[in-house]
Amino acid sequence: MIKSILIANRGEIAVRIIKASKKLGIKTVQVYSEADKESLAVKLADSSINIGSPIASKSYLNIEVIVNAAKEVNADAIHPGYGFLSENAKFAEAVEQAGLIFIGPNASVISMLGDKVQARILADKVGVPTVPGSNGRLKDISEAVQVATKIGFPIMIKALAGGGGKGIRIVHNREALADTFLQAQNEAKSTFGDGGLYMEKYISKARHIEVQILGDGENFIHFFERECSIQRRRQKVWEEAPAVNLDEKVRAKMCEKALDLVREVKYTGAATVEYIYDDTSEEFYFIETNTRIQVEHPITEMITGVDLVAEMIKIASGIPLSIKQEDVKIKGHAIECRINAEDSDNNFLPSPGKIEKLGIPNSNDVRFDTFIYEGYTIPMFYDSLIGKLIIHGDTRGETISKLRNTLEDLNIEGIKTTIPLHIKLTQNNDVLSGATDTQFLEKLLK
């Protein structure tokens, strides 16, 4: 069993990993930049180590600094959390070469599933439906025109090295394709260091549904699906499990195909297979596989009763999955609201600053994953996510009602947050009926 873990992340996911590790009796070492020395994760971990500059490229994204830190404190393993280096194959390889355990899949699997073209080829091989599009990297504008003409407009141009909703352009007609292609190419090169692009058919009324997986290399289990259709700028805002108004046969097929995909690569750890779902045709299409724990994993934990982070650590320790597929049941409904330090009434203007007061409602059905506390000053250098409010209920209607009441009772003073937006969403008729898609929130905000 792993005895000590270095946490190569920050914020709420670092706190979450510390709590799971403590349950397993594992010691934790928290890395921190100069901006995070007063963070809750530093206070909760058994020990901590300074990795330097508040600039992420010099600290949380610096492979050499983090691996050296792990060796310095004699850690057995590194947990990457989500974001930062969590899906970086070079990081996983460096961890392995240093004689440490990477809590996640091996570098070759990360590389294969992280390459959108290779992942699509793999999906096709095992029979997972894929969105009509280019067969890999587009050579030039001429090929882009040929592919777009074949599959029909509108189309979506994506950066091969993109992620987190970035590096995507939608094109509605042939006249706009050439200029958009060049813009996307330049943007991809400057943002990701790779100007490679590929193309997919754009489904305008799409829902975003994903399946949670755990694998130990030989055994693979799904934990049903989550709905993540309420998004702003392709960033998830509100997630729920199970998905809304989803046919049982479609649910079963989504989960089955996700298992086929991870089984093919003998996956180890937690993974999420993401789909676009077309409500009109009831067809679903593979988007990508995230080779890490997801921000929204708590709602799956709430409806299944399984600690996914603890299971990740046990798998990395070489312990086979003890959970059987038949033991995983959906119990009730759960919703997660991402609470950001942003003014949702003022074009989502960032609002870092000092937490003057913090009041978190206490209930068995309420969970607030966060790293903030009274007196803590949120740094300006990182993502604006400060907490995740997760509510569980017997039914979706009951869960939304509990969520509305809890949001009104959640008191965070000293900064602006997106709580007002979430309260409005709990009162929206389309949200209440489940009639949302990935464009819903953008249209609502306009």
pLDDT at 188: 86
pLDDT tens digits for 166-176? Answer: 778 999 999 99
pLDDT tens digits for 56-107? Answer: 999 999 999 999 999 999 999 999 999 999 999 999 999 999 999 999 999 9
pLDDT tens digits for 235-280? Answer: 999 999 999 999 999 999 999 999 999 999 999 999 999 999 998 8
Does the pTM surpass 0.85? The reply is yes
pLDDT at 193: 79
pLDDT at 194: 86
Instruction: Judge whether residue 444 has pLDDT over 70.
Output: yes
Averaged pLDDT for residues 397-405: 98
| CATH 3.30.470.20 for domain 206-445 | yes
pLDDT at 187: 87
pLDDT tens digits for 121-157? Answer: 999 999 999 988 898 889 999 999 999 999 999 999 9
pLDDT at 163: 64
Q: Number of helices and strands (H, E) in the chain? A: 15, 20
Q: Above pLDDT 90, what percent of the chain?
A: 89
Question: Which positions are annotated as active-site residues?
Answer: 292
- CATH code assigned to 4-87: 3.40.50.20
On the CB side of 221, CA atoms within 13 Å amount to 21
Residue ranges of the domains in the chain?
4-87, 132-201, 206-445
Q: Above pLDDT 70, what percent of the chain?
A: 99
Averaged pLDDT for residues 195-200: 91
Q: What is the mean pLDDT of the chain?
A: 95
**pLDDT bracket for residue 304 (50, 70, 90):** very high
pLDDT tens digits for 17-53? Answer: 999 999 999 999 999 999 999 999 999 999 999 999 9
**pLDDT bracket for residue 177 (50, 70, 90):** very high
pLDDT at 321: 97
| CATH 3.30.1490.20 for domain 132-201 | yes
pLDDT at 62: 97
Averaged pLDDT for residues 204-220: 96
